[in-house]
């Protein structure tokens, strides 16, 4: 196996190196160097380098990366060069004769003490970094997420949408991969949605949206990747911040961020505690039909009362071995307790609306979660030109214990014990070739082992339908990649290839069933950029990706909150494969930035959730139930257009908006057998899922500064209606409103936040089973995960400067 892996890696290396042989030598020259802070020798990211041609007066320039390095391509000539960084003294190099590539060496900037007391810097939310393979949205001073969670932050990012059920989608596609600091993380946990609601927004620095990922990223997620970057202290000395939140419904939060940085050591930490409640509703009106004539109806009105307490601790230590290498150790701990009480009022009626049956089904569910994660990172920068080796090792464990007592005419109890263990090994090597080219190769191993024991005790439940079972899930993924990038005049390209070898072993222990899957896939990527002018640029991307079914989608267990509406997994699911194309355009004026893209995606073996129908005996009556299950369909084609725009009218009015329109066409049929428990007769139901539909969503944001420096922020989100072969979903409107005021010489901030101002964030939809054309039941449902929330947040900073990064952050960075 090891020999085979190295043969694959060698082939990828050889293929990619061929791209490098065609590098066209540029007639321009490179001005490069490194910018450090004079006191700590720490790199200054986003420092600005300005080159002014003394003859033509033409100005070019660039910014430094996270290591303080810069590489600027410029024609032959004599230049005045200045190096600037906010709150630091400018350093100038006059009359520099550039007749060959020039190394300015290490440039050390000194803090401007006069400015430090006057300048308060904030990374404004509107800042967008557009790179060849990603878009970076800096969270900055976003009032509407103060006192919120990671879920609230993502709901604020253009192109990202979170529906009332908590499902995260990118450009309307739910197959999105979520990473923490560039890697899969146990911070996400066994359930993405619930875990994100436990991560405080204050811990997040920025979010990367990668719709055309390069080969260095996992191939998982056909829609793309959302990478959440956590805060790590960068300011020298001891500094930190503390904040507290009070809200109604219950939302008590407190967080403490501490950082100590010296020449050799950077100690950083994020500590938070959350005690919150999230009341919600789920109403269902189900109509049963025989030959399209109403037979009976069933009404379920479910009220949720969720209460969660969680403690998060993230502590890290970065040690600089020497000027070129460092090692970082990080440990994350999470301890949470949750209680979910749902009260389901049930009524059953005949075709004449006569009452047949009434009951109240109460589920008291309690969940405990303990998570730990340890990671180790090593970085070696061999030289100032960008040659680099990184090595990452990560180990995590998570245990969830759930128990539920269901009170009804016939009581039930359920218990679930899950234990997950994950390991990650990763190594990346970057080799600059010449002045503009770069070669990269790497390996990543992801290894996961999950054991889930699910027990249902229901004396009145037909044993044939008892979903109790024990799942043993093992997944091993070995991935190798290589890519080559180059800049030729105004063109920039990045070509790559990734190979992933996946092995999945599933055991359903109680039923003595084994499922084994093994597959190897190639994933080519290509990203091309063309800089039309300083203000305008084009990007074109292609990538092949997949969507692996997760353990929850494979697990055939059922939720018992309702007797007639179930969600269960499908152990026979296969991965979805997609080919995606993305064409982007950026134009920037003095006060307006316009960023747009057209995209197309073709997916095969598409994973979708469908409504299937079964006959079960409930309360001594033959009853038709709905089982929502994921299946593989033949194909899906998706095409769309999106744009994001930012407009700065003046220092007191800033507007931004985004719009995404997409059309999807699904093709495929699904057949399944259903058995009548009374007659033991089996019938086959076939469903056609051919459907074509359009949908859209838009977001508008306004930030206005009033007298006395009171700031307001209004965000309006609308998601358009959507239909498919089995369902119809109504449009949804949501409005958030926030006010903030800086206090104590801008060392503190007070924020009033109203989430869902009109309490309109409700998910209204209609499902048909088995099909719209010939339904045997129709369900009208309304779901609201949480009601309107009002919160007050207070934050205080010490020895910490808020940073206004006045930089041209919309330009394309090469790699």
| Residue 47: both structure tokens together | 């420092």
pLDDT at residue number 194? 60
CA angle 267, 329, 370 (to 5 degrees): 100
**Virtual torsion, Cα 83, 84, 87, 88, nearest 10 deg:** 0
Rounded to whole angstroms, how far apart are CA atoms 123 and 667?
45
CA angle 528, 533, 539 (to 5 degrees): 20
- Rounded mean pLDDT, 163-186: 76
What pTM was estimated for this model as a whole?
Answer: 0.77
Burial class (CB in 10 A: 0-12, 13-18, 19+), 231: middle
- For 496-545, the pLDDT digits (tens) are 999 999 999 999 998 888 999 999 999 999 999 998 987 888 999 999 99
Per-chain mean pLDDT for the chain: 83
- Closest by CA to 145, choosing from 738, 705, 709, 652, is 738
Q: Show the 3-state SS of 680-704.
A: CCEEEEEEECCEEEEEEEEEEEEEE
Other beta carbons within 10 Å of 397 = 14
For residue 276, list its beta bridge partners.
251, 308
pLDDT at residue number 419? 94
Q: Assign 446 a pLDDT band (cuts: 50, 70, 90).
A: very high
| Residue 552: both structure tokens together | 């929850």
- For 543-598, the pLDDT digits (tens) are 999 999 888 888 888 877 777 778 888 888 999 999 999 999 988 888 888 888 99
Rounded to whole angstroms, how far apart are CA atoms 723 and 532?
40
Residue with more model confidence, 150 or 385: 385
Q: Helix (H, G, I), strand (E, B), or coil: what is residue 509?
A: coil
Other beta carbons within 10 Å of 463 = 7
Q: Show the 3-state SS of 290-302.
A: ECCEEEEEEEEEE
Rounded to whole angstroms, how far apart are CA atoms 333 and 345?
39
pLDDT at residue number 800? 61
pLDDT at residue number 804? 36
- For 458-500, the pLDDT digits (tens) are 887 778 778 888 999 999 999 999 999 998 888 999 999 999 9
pLDDT at residue number 122? 34
- Closest by CA to 254, choosing from 230, 275, 273, is 273
- For 624-676, the pLDDT digits (tens) are 788 888 999 889 999 999 988 888 888 889 888 889 999 999 988 888 888 77
For residue 97, list its beta bridge partners.
78
- Closest by CA to 226, choosing from 168, 266, 267, 293, is 168
pLDDT at residue number 16? 44
Q: Assign 116 a pLDDT band (cuts: 50, 70, 90).
A: very low
The residue count for the chain: 815
Counting residues of the chain whose pLDDT is more than 70, the rounded percentage is: 87
DSSP 116: H
| Residue 478: both structure tokens together | 């070995």
Candidate from 78-92, 313-327, 707-721, 767-781 with smallest mean pLDDT: 78-92
CB 553 within 8 A of CB 569: yes
pLDDT at residue number 378? 95
Rounded to whole angstroms, how far apart are CA atoms 633 and 604?
8
Tokens 């994001």 correspond to: 644
CB 715 within 8 A of CB 144: yes
CB 240 within 8 A of CB 798: yes
> How far is Cα of residue 597 from the mean position of the Cα atoms in its chain?
19
> How far is Cα of residue 282 from the mean position of the Cα atoms in its chain?
26
Q: Assign 164 a pLDDT band (cuts: 50, 70, 90).
A: low
- Closest by CA to 446, choosing from 432, 425, 421, 466, is 425
Q: In the predicted model, is pLDDT for residue 86 greater than 70?
A: no
- Closest by CA to 198, choosing from 267, 149, 139, is 149
Alpha helices in 160-291 (DSSP H): 192-196
Contacts of 667 (CB under 8 A, 6+ apart): 633, 634, 635, 636, 689, 690
Q: Assign 758 a pLDDT band (cuts: 50, 70, 90).
A: very high
CB 227 within 8 A of CB 214: no
Tokens 């058995």 correspond to: 675
pLDDT at residue number 99? 86
Rounded to whole angstroms, how far apart are CA atoms 537 and 593?
12
pLDDT at residue number 689? 86
Give the chain's end-to-end CA distance (angstroms, integer): 32
Rounded to whole angstroms, how far apart are CA atoms 468 and 560?
11
Contacts of 763 (CB under 8 A, 6+ apart): 163, 164, 165, 729, 732, 781, 782, 783, 784
Beta strands in 548-591 (DSSP E): 565-567, 576-588
What Cα–Cα distance (Å) separates residue 614 from each residue in 363, 618, 626?
23, 12, 7
> How far is Cα of residue 219 from the mean position of the Cα atoms in its chain?
15
- Cis amide prior to 249 (ω within 30 degrees): yes
Contacts of 428 (CB under 8 A, 6+ apart): 216, 388, 389, 390, 440, 441, 442
For residue 288, list its beta bridge partners.
296, 777
pLDDT at residue number 810? 33
pLDDT at residue number 222? 84
| Residue 651: both structure tokens together | 């220092």
- Cis amide prior to 770 (ω within 30 degrees): yes
Burial class (CB in 10 A: 0-12, 13-18, 19+), 353: exposed
Tokens 């660039």 correspond to: 62
- For 601-632, the pLDDT digits (tens) are 999 999 888 888 788 877 677 777 888 889 99
Rounded to whole angstroms, how far apart are CA atoms 666 and 727?
13
């Amino acid at each position: 196996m090891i020999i085979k892996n190295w043969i694959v890696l060698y082939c990828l290396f050889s293929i990619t190196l061929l791209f490098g042989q065609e590098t066209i030598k540029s007639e321009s020259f490179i001005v490069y160097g490194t910018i450090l802070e004079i006191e700590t020798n720490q790199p200054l990211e986003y420092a600005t380098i300005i080159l002014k041609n003394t003859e033509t007066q033409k100005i070019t320039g660039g910014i430094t990366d996270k290591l303080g390095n810069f590489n600027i391509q410029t024609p032959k000539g004599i230049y005045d060069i200045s190096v600037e960084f906010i709150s630091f003294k400018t350093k100038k190099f006059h009359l520099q004769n550039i007749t060959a590539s020039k190394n300015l060496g290490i440039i050390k900037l000194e803090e401007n003490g006069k400015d430090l007391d006057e300048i308060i810097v904030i990374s404004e939310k509107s800042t967008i970094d557009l790179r060849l393979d990603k878009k970076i949205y800096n969270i900055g001073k976003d009032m509407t997420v103060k006192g919120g969670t990671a879920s609230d932050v993502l709901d604020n990012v253009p192109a990202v949408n979170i529906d009332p059920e908590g499902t995260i989608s990118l450009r309307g596609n739910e197959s999105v991969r979520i990473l923490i600091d560039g890697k899969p993380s146990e911070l996400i946990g066994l359930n993405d949605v619930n875990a994100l609601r436990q991560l405080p927004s204050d811990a997040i620095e920025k979010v990367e949206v990668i719709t055309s990922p390069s080969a260095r990223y996992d191939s998982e997620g056909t829609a793309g990747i959302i990478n959440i970057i956590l805060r790590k202290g960068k300011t020298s000395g001891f500094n930190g911040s503390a904040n507290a939140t009070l809200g109604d419904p219950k939302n008590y939060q407190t967080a403490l961020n501490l950082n100590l940085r010296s020449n050799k050591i950077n100690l950083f930490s994020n500590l938070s505690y959350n005690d919150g409640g999230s009341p919600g509703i789920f109403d269902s009106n189900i109509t049963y039909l025989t030959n399209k004539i109403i037979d009976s109806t069933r009404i379920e009105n479910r009220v949720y009362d969720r209460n969660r307490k969680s403690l998060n601790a993230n502590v890290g230590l970065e040690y600089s071995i020497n000027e070129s290498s460092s090692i970082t150790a990080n440990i994350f701990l999470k301890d949470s307790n949750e209680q979910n009480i749902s009260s389901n009022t049930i009524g059953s009626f005949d075709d004449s609306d006569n009452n047949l049956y009434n009951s109240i089904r109460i589920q008291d569910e309690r969940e405990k979660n303990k998570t730990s994660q340890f990671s180790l990172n090593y970085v070696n920068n061999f030289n100032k030109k960008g040659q680099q080796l990184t090595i990452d090792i990560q180990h995590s464990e998570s245990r969830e214990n759930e128990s539920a007592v269901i009170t009804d005419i016939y009581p039930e109890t359920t218990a679930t014990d899950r234990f997950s263990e994950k390991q990650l090994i990763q190594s990346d090597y970057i080799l600059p070739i010449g002045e503009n080219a770069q070669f990269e190769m790497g390996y990543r191993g992801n290894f996961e082992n999950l054991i889930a024991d699910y027990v249902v005790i229901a004396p009145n439940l037909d044993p044939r339908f008892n979903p109790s079972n024990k799942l043993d899930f093992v997944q091993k993924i070995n991935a190798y990649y290589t890519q080559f990038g180059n800049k030729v005049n105004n063109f920039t390209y990045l070509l790559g290839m990734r190979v992933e070898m996946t092995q999945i072993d599933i055991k359903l222990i109680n039923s003595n069933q084994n499922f084994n899957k093994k597959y190897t896939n190639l994933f080519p990527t290509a990203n091309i950029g063309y800089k039309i002018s300083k203000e305008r640029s084009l990007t074109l991307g292609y990538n092949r990706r997949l969507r692996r079914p997760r353990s929850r989608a494979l697990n055939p267990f059922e939720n018992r909150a309702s007797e007639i509406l179930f969600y269960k997994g499908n152990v026979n699911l296969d991965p979805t494969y997609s080919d995606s194309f993305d064409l982007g355009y950026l134009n920037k004026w003095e006060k307006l930035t316009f960023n747009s893209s057209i995209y197309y995606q073709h997916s095969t073996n598409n994973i979708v959730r469908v409504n299937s129908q079964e006959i079960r005996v409930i309360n001594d009556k033959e009853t038709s139930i709905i089982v929502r299950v994921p299946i593989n369909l033949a194909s899906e084609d998706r095409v769309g257009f999106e744009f994001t725009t930012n407009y700065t009218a003046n220092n007191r009015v800033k507007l931004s908006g985004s719009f995404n329109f997409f059309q999807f066409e699904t093709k495929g049929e699904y057949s399944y057998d259903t058995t009548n428990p009374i007659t033991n007769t089996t019938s086959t139901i076939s469903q056609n899922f051919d459907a074509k539909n359009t949908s859209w969503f838009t977001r508008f944001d306004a930030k206005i500064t009033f007298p006395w420096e009171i700031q307001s922020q209004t965000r309006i989100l609308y998601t358009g209606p959507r239909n498919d072969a089995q369902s119809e979903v109504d449009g949804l409107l949501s409005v958030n409103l926030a006010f903030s005021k800086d206090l104590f010489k801008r060392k503190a901030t007070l924020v009033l936040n109203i989430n869902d101002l009109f309490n309109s964030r409700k998910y209204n939809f209609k499902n048909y089973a088995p099909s719209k054309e010939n339904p045997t039941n129709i369900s009208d449902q309304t779901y609201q995960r949480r009601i309107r929330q009002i919160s007050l947040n207070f934050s205080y900073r010490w020895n910490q400067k808020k940073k206004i990064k006045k930089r041209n952050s919309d330009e394309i960075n090469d790699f």
